[in-house]
Structure 1
Amino acid sequence: MWDAEPVSTVLDRVGDPTAAEVPLPNLPESARLARRLTQAVLRHRWAASTQVTEHTVLLVSELVGNAVRHTGAHTIGIRLLRRSGHIRVEVRDPSRGLPCRLPVSELDTSGRGLFLVDTLAERWGVDLLPRGKTTWFEMRADG
């Protein structure tokens, strides 16, 4: 359903994560929707490079997928910010359980999410909130 619509219209239908946090349901499809929102912002609003867009979309998918699989949240929030040469992505969920980067080997088929975030993002972290947490990462806007 979402793949058929033009990527720029997803912002009008779902919400603009640059203006306010966009809530996503706790469904596996939310990772795909988060990818489309991110792609729409980076390509159509911020004219980010192809590499920055691809890496950011991948990492968004990992963080939203982790929130769906591991937090038991009813909703997950996504927000995109652009600050002084950096793109910041924030994924909020109501769990205060901290994500942990697992050691991975080349044969592992899962558990690579935070390894990818740690490898591709310029920096990342977790901010604990009174009710939940925000897991975030930053990419250089210029690639």
Structure 2
Amino acid sequence: MAGLEGTEQPRRGAATAAVQWAPAVDDELALKVLELYGDPTLGEVRLPSCPESTVAARRLTHCVVVSHWGLSAQLAEHAVLLVSELVGNAVRHTGARHFGLRMWRRRGWVRMEVRDPSRGLPCLLPVRETDTNGRGLFLVDRLSDRWGVDLLARGKTAWFEMRVADR
């Protein structure tokens, strides 16, 4: 996987990756995000650690799950929500300047990864109906089939996996 080191420019060749497949014609914003940051199925894409990147990550996730992988709208909805929760954690809690986003598909599974330079581990907290925050990992735990955090030499990767029906 590509690291977070390097230039702060969007990946070179990102537009080439977008030519391989493209989101639905009605989602021009998803195509722009794909061209700007690159294809997270080909390698880790680097996004700035700011609240606006959550929108970009959501668009990329929906674009990949529906347009590229051709999976169900319900799976896409859950994947988008869970990616936004992991990205939100990376943006709010790590103090990082950038984070990485990577998406994998293998027989029967999809895997979404968010990598940041912090080694601080997220914590699954009990939640109540009246809680207005702290529900991110609770949702990841409930809506994914499995999830976890891999510690790296520099930082960590938070990930989740969901089962999919292969055609």
Question: TM-score scaled to structure 1, two decimals?
Answer: 0.94
Q: CA deviation at 1:85?
A: 1.0
Q: CA deviation at 1:21?
A: 0.4
Larger RCO: 1 or 2 (CA < 8 Å, sep 6+): 1
The match for 1:110 is 133
CA contact (8 A) 1:10 1:40 kept: no
The match for 1:125 is 148
Q: CA deviation at 1:6?
A: 3.8
Partner of 2:111, secondary structure, is: strand
The amino acid that maps onto 1:94 is P
| 1:29-67 residue CA offsets vs partner (Å, 9 max, x unmatched) | 111110000111011100110110000000000000000
Query: In the aligned structure 2, how far is the partner of 1:142 from the partner of 1:33?
Result: 26
* Aligned counterpart in structure 2 of residue 17 of structure 1, from 30, 40, 59: 40
| 1:59-105 residue CA offsets vs partner (Å, 9 max, x unmatched) | 00000000000000110000000011100000000000000011100
Q: CA deviation at 1:142?
A: 2.8
Q: CA deviation at 1:124?
A: 0.2
Structure 1 runs of 4+ aligned residues shifted over 4 Å read none
The amino acid that maps onto 2:138 is F
Partner of 1:19, secondary structure, is: coil
How do residues 82-121 of structure 1 correspond to structure 2 at under 5 angstroms? 82-121=105-144
The match for 2:66 is 43
CA contact (8 A) 1:101 1:114 kept: yes
Aligned sequence identity (%): 64
The amino acid that maps onto 2:107 is S
Q: How much is the aligned-residue C-alpha RMSD, in angstroms?
A: 1.4
CA contact (8 A) 1:96 1:131 kept: yes
Q: CA deviation at 1:9?
A: 4.1
Give the 3 Å change call, closer, same or farther, for CA 142–61 of structure 1 in structure 2.
same
Question: TM-score scaled to structure 2, two decimals?
Answer: 0.81
Matched, 1:73 2:110: no
Query: In the aligned structure 2, how far is the partner of 1:24 from the partner of 1:98?
Result: 20
Matched, 1:27 2:50: yes
